[in-house]
Amino acid sequence: MGAGIRPGRRGKGPDPVPLHHWAPRARPRAGQNSTELEVRRLRGALGPRPPALLLAVEDPWARLGSGGATLNALLVAAEHLSARAGCTVVTADVLRDARILILHMGRDFSFDDCGRAFTCLPAEEPGAPAEALVCNLDSLLGTMTHRVCVAWGRGPGGISWEGFQGVRVIAVPGSPEYARNHGVYLADEQGLVRDIIYKGTEARIQQCAGPDGTVPLVCGIVFFSSDAAEQLLATHVIPPLDACTYMGLDSGAPPIQLSLFFDIVLSMAGGMTEEDFVKGGSDASVRSARSVLWTALRGFPLSMACIPDASYDYMTTSASDHIRSLTLLPGSASRLRFCKTAHSHVDQPCLLEDGSSVTNCLLEGAVGLAAGSVIQHCHLQGPLEIGPGCLLSGLDVGSSPALRGCPLRDVVLQGHHVRLRDLPCRVFTLTGRLDDWQSPVEEATYLNVPWPEFFQRTGIREGDLWDAATLRRSRCLLSARLFPVLHAREALGLRDVLWLLAPAVAAGEQLARWRTAWRMSWQELLPCLDTAAELGTRQALFFLQGQRKVRRVLLGRQDSSLLPLARSAVHEGYHEAVLGTLDEVASTAGDAGVAARALACIAEVLGCMARGEGGLLSGPAANREWASAFACLERGDLASGVRELAAERQKWMSRPALLVRAARHYKGAEQILVRQAVMSSCQFVTVGQAELPPLGHWVQVACPARLDLSGGWSDTPPITYEHGGAVVDVAVLVDGCRPIGARVRRIAEPELRLVSLSGTPPSEALTELLCRELEDLQDYCQPHAPGALLKAAFICTQVVQFPSQKPLRVQLMESFGSGFEAHTWSTLPHGSGLGTSSILAGAVMASLYRAAGKAASTESLIHAVLHLEQRLTTGGGWQDQVGGLVPGIKIGRSKAQLPLRVEVEQILVPEGFTQTLNDHLLLVYTGKTRLARNLLQDVVRNWYARLPSIVQNTDALGLGNFSIHSIEVDTGGFSVEVVGCDTKDGAHPGEDGAV
C-alpha cells in the first residue's frame, strides 16, 4: 500500500517524478531500509534527479495502520524540511513547493525475511545504469515514474493531471469476482468517488462496474494536492490524531489505529454523510478521529483515475499465490519482463523447466527445477531435483547434501538469519504450499496434510508444539514451535526440518533430536529476523554470481555489458572482488583478445571508483612505474604482466586522480594486446624484389581521398576481429586531383631526410628533419612527434632495423649504398574525416618499398598500414587505406577471427552510374576538424564495455540501403611513378634521367 503526496499549486497538475523528497514508512528496521535507499540513489535507481532527502520512518506503534503511518511520515518529512528552511517549529508552508513520495513498506511477509518491499522479482533491467536485483520497491518506483506520474497533460497511463485539486486515487480494472476479497471505488460519471466498498456483496460490487464489466480496484496509490496535504498535516496536533505520530508517543498519548483509505480518504467521498462516516469508527477514539478528519478534509474533491490495461497483484499470505506471482509472466502493460533465470549462474539451464523461476542464485552441477517452482537467493550444488510447487529461499551451499535424495514437492523451504540478543544463528523453516498460517489446528494442514495425519506420521504430539495453556482457537501453524533453533550438544542444520517430510520408520532418531532442541514458532521468529544479515548475504551471493558472469561473458566472448555490474560493485563495496576476477581472467585466458577486454574492464572499474572526479580516462600512459608490467606484456608474458599490473594498481587506489591515472595505464596495457592481435595481419604482407631505382630518381605516389558509405567503425580493432567488419568505400578526387601523396628517392649521403610539404611538389617545405643516428628514430611511436609517420614507415618496411646494434649509416650503406629523402603532402584540411592519415601512410609505404627496390601488392599495403598504425600507436582500422588504395566503389571485409585479414571486392555499378554520381557530389568544408584518434578512443572504450547501443549499431552495420554524398569518383586508384631527379635540388648532380 502506498500514499503518494504530490503538492502543487491550486489548479495545476503535479510535476513528474523523480521526487525531491522521499519518506518510506518502515517496519522497525528503519536503519537497514535507509541503507537500501541510499544504495539505490547511488546507482541511479531513483531517477536522473534523485531526491534531496531520503528518510526511513519507523512507526511509533506496532499496529498504527496505514492512515496513522501516513500522518506520522508526513510529519517527519515536514519537520526535516522545516529545519532545512531555517524554521524553529514545524510549518506546513514547506509543503507548498515540496514534492513528497511516501511508500508504505508493508507488514512482515511469510515468504521473504526482508518484507514485501524487498521481495525480489525474476526480472532484469538491461538498460539500467547499474546492475541490481529488482524488488517490488523498484517495480513500484518504475511504475510511478513511467506510468502514473507524468508531466502536464495526459501520460501513457491515460491520466490527465490538468486542473488537479484535492485528492486523487489511482485504480486498476479488475473482475467482480476478484473484488469480493478486496476494495473497489464507486465513482460517478465525472470520476468523483462516491464510496469505497470493501468485500462488498455481489450487488454492491456490480454498482461499481463500468461498460466493459470491470470494476476499479483499490491499488494503494493516492495523490494529495499541497492544500490537502497541509490540512492533513495540521491534524497531527489535534487529539486523538496526535497519537498517530512519534510526538504523540513521546507525549504519552494512547495508541490509535487508522486506515488511510477507510478513515482518511473515505472522509472526502461524495456519497458519505458525516453521521455515517463518524459512526463507522470501530471505537470511541477512532470515531473522534474521524470527526476531526471530516472537518479538516471534507471540502476537498476526491477524484479517481483508472489506468487501462493495468493489473494489480495483492501479496497475500498464500504460498500458492506467491509462487504463481513469481512464475507467471506479467501483463503486456508492465514495464518489467520476467525471465526464467534472473541474475543467476546456472551450470545446466536445460534442467530448468518452462514455468519455473530462479533469481539471485548459483546452481552448480545438475540442478533440476520443475515447472511452477521458484528458487531465490540460494547457492546449491547438484545433483538435485526440485519438484513442482516449491519455493526455496536462503539456502547456502552447505545445504545441498541434505537435499540430495529428498523428495520436494509443494513445499516452502527457507533459511533465515536470526539474532537472539547478541547471538547470530541460522534457522530453517519448512511449510506446505497449501498450508494456512492462521487457521486452527482442527481445520488446517501442515505440509499439505491434516495435522492428525502429520502427528501420526512423525510421532510429534500437540504438546510438543503448543503449551497446555494455549487456547484451542490459538493453536495454528503460526504459533506452532516446529523449527529447531539451538541444541545443547549438536549443530543444527537443514536435516533437522527435512525429516518432517519422512515416514515414521525413518523418524525415530530425528524425533528425539528434534524434541531436545530449543524450538521456536514462526510467530516467535519474526521479531528475531536479522534483516541486515539477510540483505548482506543476498548482496554477497549477487556479486558471487556476478563474478561467474564476468568469467562467462569474457571467456565466452559474449556481447553483454559488464559496466552496470562494475558500477554496482563500486557502489556496494565489492570492487575488489570484481577486480580480482578480472585479473584472473586476464592472466589465465591464454587469449590476447579476451585479456585485452578484461584489462579494459579493470580500467572501467577504476574509473567508476573515481566517481566522476580526477579527470578524463583518456590521457598519457607511460609512467615509469608501470614500465615493468608493460614490458612483460610486450614480450608475451601475459600472466606476469597482469600480476605486475595488479601489484602496481594497489599503489594508485587512494584518491580519484590516482585512480584515473591508473585507469589510463590499464588502457595502455589493453592497447599493447590489441596491437599484438592486429600485428597478426603482418603475415599477409608479401614483399618481393624489384629493380632499385637510380640514385636521385623520385618514386612518387598520389592517392585519392575516400568516403565510407556504410559500415564505418566496424573496421576498427578490436571490433573488426571480435565481431567482424564490412565497409563500403569509394575513392574520390578533390578538385579533379588526387590530394594525398608521397615521394621518396635515394641520396648519396647515408642519412634520412624527412620533409612535410605544404602541397603537391614543388611546394614549400613545412618541416624538415635530418636523421643520422638510430636515436633520431626512437620517437617513431609518438604520433605528435615531428616526422613520426615517416620514421615508423622506414622501420615497418624494414628499410631500417630498429632497434639494432648497427648504426644507421652502416645499415643504409650495407643495404642500399645510399640514404633516403622522403616527402609527404596533403591538400586536404587537417581532420577532414576523409581518411588522410591512413591513406598517406599507404602512399609513403608504397613509395618507400619501390625506392628500396622492393615490390608490394595492394593487399600487402593494406595490411602493412595496419601494422604501421599499431607501431605508431594511433590504432585505427583498415577502411581508410582500402578506400584510398583500391579504385572506385568497393567493399572491404574482415572476419571475426585472428589473424586479421582484409579482403576487398570491387562493386560493379551500371554504366553511367559513376558519371551520375559525379554530377551530384559536392564537398563542403565547414572548418570544424574531426580527429579520428579522439573518436577512436571512445569507440573502443564503448565496444569493450559492450554498451547495448554500440552492440546494436555494430550488428546493424550491413550492406543495406545507403546514399553517396560528395565529390568525384576516382576509378583509377593510386598511382606510382618513378621520375627523374630535379637538378635544382642538388640531390645527385649530374645524374638526371627517367625510368
pLDDT by residue (tens digit) across 432-463?
A: 999 999 999 999 999 999 999 999 999 999 99
Q: Please state, in angstroms and rounded to a whole number, the distance separating the CA atoms of residues 296 and 58.
A: 25
pLDDT by residue (tens digit) across 272-296?
A: 999 999 999 888 999 999 999 999 9
User: What is the residue-averaged pLDDT of the chain?
Assistant: 87
Q: Residue 562 pLDDT more than 70?
A: yes
Q: Is residue 334 very low, low, confident or very high in pLDDT (cuts 50, 70, 90)?
A: low
Q: Residue 331 pLDDT more than 60?
A: no
Q: What's the predicted TM-score (pTM) here? A: 0.83
Q: Please state, in angstroms and rounded to a whole number, the distance separating the CA atoms of residues 790 and 859.
A: 21
Q: Please state, in angstroms and rounded to a whole number, the distance separating the CA atoms of residues 825 and 701.
A: 10
Dihedral in degrees, nearest 10, Cα atoms 967, 970, 971, 973: -150
pLDDT by residue (tens digit) across 522-549?
A: 999 999 999 999 999 999 999 999 999 9
Identify the residue whose cell numbers are 508504505. 104
SS3 408: strand
The grid cell for 994 is 627517367
Are 642 and 702 a contacting pair, CB within 8 Å? no
The grid cell for 922 is 559536392
Confidence at residue 618, expressed as pLDDT on a 0 to 100 scale: 86
Classify 684 in phi/psi space as left (phi over 0), alpha (psi -120 to 50) or beta: alpha
pLDDT by residue (tens digit) across 878-935?
A: 999 999 999 999 999 999 998 999 999 999 888 888 888 888 888 887 777 766 666 7
Helices 575-588 and 531-555: crossing angle, nearest 10°? 20
Q: Please state, in angstroms and rounded to a whole number, the distance separating the CA atoms of residues 549 and 210.
A: 49
Q: Please state, in angstroms and rounded to a whole number, the distance separating the CA atoms of residues 190 and 188.
A: 5
Cβ count within 10 A of residue 431: 26
Q: How large is the average pLDDT for residues 200-211?
A: 92
Bridge partners of 826, per DSSP, are 740
Cα within 13 Å of Cα(743), Cβ side: 21
Cα diameter, the chain = 126
SS3 765: strand
Cβ count within 10 A of residue 198: 14
- CA 631 vs. chain centroid, Å, equals 34
C-alpha triplet 301, 302, 305: angle, nearest 5°: 130
Q: Residue 384 pLDDT more than 80?
A: yes
Q: Residue 877 pLDDT more than 80?
A: yes
Burial 687-726 (b: 16+ CB within 10 A, else e): eeeeebbbbbbbbbbbbbbbbbbbbbbbbbbbbbbbbbbb
Q: Residue 195 pLDDT more than 70?
A: yes
> Any idea what DSSP says for residue 281?
S
Give the contacts of 643 (CB within 8 A, at least 6 positions apart). 583, 587
Q: Please state, in angstroms and rounded to a whole number, the distance separating the CA atoms of residues 196 and 183.
A: 7
Q: What is the DSSP string of 799-854?
A: SS-SS-SS-HHHHHHHHTSSEEEEEEEE-SPTT-SS-HHHHHHHHHHHHHHHHTTE
Q: Residue 14 pLDDT more than 60?
A: no
Burial 749-780 (b: 16+ CB within 10 A, else e): bbbbbbbbbeebeeeeeeeebebeebebbeeb
The grid cell for 730 is 569509394
Q: Is residue 988 very low, low, confident or very high in pLDDT (cuts 50, 70, 90)?
A: very low
Confidence at residue 238, expressed as pLDDT on a 0 to 100 scale: 93
Dihedral in degrees, nearest 10, Cα atoms 275, 280, 281, 283: 100
Identify the weakest region by mean pLDDT among 333-347, 361-375, 764-778, 921-935: 921-935
Q: Please state, in angstroms and rounded to a whole number, the distance separating the CA atoms of residues 35 and 37.
A: 5
Burial 927-947 (b: 16+ CB within 10 A, else e): eeeeebeeebbebbbbbbbbe
Confidence at residue 972, expressed as pLDDT on a 0 to 100 scale: 65
